Structure 1
């Protein structure tokens, strides 16, 4: 019990610099972070801010479907809507960009390397490198800009979040098979079920840029957990919870492990319990396009935390 309590305190301490930066960027974020995990408060906020709006019509898109309403309806029910695939050419262009552009290990700009040189970089820096993030370098990838500007994504987000919707984040990162430290797993939100508290309302689109099977760290989601939440998972400072406890609370039948070939995508309400699993054999390249209802800082837009000096 003492060991678990100490581990929880360490997880909180890892996030404190980022929390402080978020509060400085936007003092209202503190209110959301404190109360946004409580379901009655979230529902009250949505009712208070609700404004009827027509669902946008999608005329042109890179995706095979144009039915934004159907996608939003599935997310509203299940929390996740799989099978939203990128064209092969877009997938290949983003993948090639990620191979040729230096990334930052463990979300730390001091640990810069090329993804194909991952093993050599671990030796150079003397530590395991679980992730490689690109932060604002995603602006150098035209294919990512094409995806984040696609009318279908904006229409789904508007249908799900309402007319106050705005683009909140554009992220690209690798997850590598390695022997990570506990703090690196926590910082990367891997191997532990958690829910996001980025905003009062959020919708995220995730895309695999490499093939993902059970050995490549598939994303896992608890269907329906965005709509229901035990009180002990609302009245807690920690968004992360033990896997066995989450599965027992919300049912093994609702656990969805998302696997697919390069280009496979899905829409998700990240307030539901989810996690990225750490790859065991092959690296995973993943892209995220997120929408919310509040303004995001430039740092948060690219998913960059504040990493304390070691």
Structure 2
């Protein structure tokens, strides 16, 4: 990111920009995490107790919560969640009946079945299209945000009362995307710095087979960042497949596939990327929890600003 872009971001989101600078260093992350943990000890205990009282209301069953959080801590990614059929159906119906927005542009709305018409209007292939205001408009998203199992996992992992900072649902299409689009929309290996401590739940809403838009994660890389260039100690950047293949063992580079409804959690400080689908589009829902909300990771947009392409 150029200095001018950093300055513009600082003017609009000063706390976020400061966190992005300090949060790349383990010392500052641990200092903030410990401070918040100590200040939230009582309220966190009360929050967890409330979650436990509501466990019977959860849509997730037979999840070993302690093991799930332990796996998330040690490996940076944890598996074993599955959406029930009713929730999955409600989410997919929402996606079919509401407009999504090409490249997250508020003036580029279209419905899923008008994908080709939207590409013709833009005069370029659409790699990604996101829905806006899902936490407001979709009851299934609201239900998942408030699910006691997900909230318990979030509080236990973050060691604090968790802050829900945003839902995001988007399509990824099988197109020959430019290198710039692949980089901008996270289809090259990278790490996120969204807070001093944070993580995300991911749910596949379509079947995801090998090569068809799978999420790829380097296991435990949140504790073992790549040191390929001297500057990698200080900066975050995009990495080529060759760089990651050369730095990490092949067994640790995991392509996450699964049927519609498959869910997992990841601390995306881990090295990760989304694969560009080859033949079939992918629909995914992401729910993110952090210590603080900087107002930059949600899908909330002013409805008056949303415009349709077709």
The corresponding residue for 1:207 is 203
- Spell out, residue by residue over 1:113-163, the C-alpha distance to the aligned partner (whole angstroms, 9 max, x if none): 111221221112201110110122452111111111111111101000022
Aligned mates of 1:281, 1:271 — CA distance in 2: 29
Q: Which of residues 135, 138, 158 in structure 2 aligns to 1:141?
A: 138
* 1:203/1:272 CA distance change after superposition, 3 Å: same
Give me the whole-angstrom Cα distance separating, in 2, the residues matched to 1:90 and 1:300: 23
Q: Return 228-237 or 106-115, whichever deviates more.
A: 228-237
Gaps of 5+ in 1: 1-11, 305-310
Distance 1:227 1:23, change over 3 A: same
Deviations 1:197-244 (A, max 9, x none): 111110100000000001321000000101122454753433322222
Following the alignment from structure 1 to structure 2, what is the Cα–Cα distance between the partners of residues 293 and 264?
Answer: 26
SS at match of 1:109: coil
Structure 1 pair 74–142 and aligned structure 2 pair: CA distance change class (3 A) = same
> Could you tell me how far apart the structure 2 residues matched to 1:155 and 1:16 are?
40
Partner of 1:49: 36
The equivalent of 2:308 in structure 1 is none
How many residues in Structure 1 have an aligned counterpart in Structure 2? 289
Which residue, 91, 101, 104 being the options, matches 1:104? 101
Query: Could you state the TM-score of these two structures normalised by the residue count of structure 1?
Result: 0.86
Within 5 Å, give how 1:18-167 maps onto structure 2: 22-51=9-38, 52=41, 53-54=44-45, 55-56=48-49, 57=52, 59-60=55-56, 61-167=58-164
TM-score computed with the length of structure 2 as normaliser: 0.86
RMSD (Å), alpha carbons? 2.2
Maintained 8 Å contact 1:39/1:234: no
Change (3 A) 1:198 1:233: farther
- Aligned with 1:302: secondary structure? coil
What is the CA–CA distance in structure 1 between the aligned matches of 2:185 and 2:109, rounded to whole Å?
Answer: 17
Structure 2 unmatched ranges of 5 or more: 302-310
Q: Per the alignment, in what secondary structure is the counterpart of residue 63 of structure 1?
A: coil
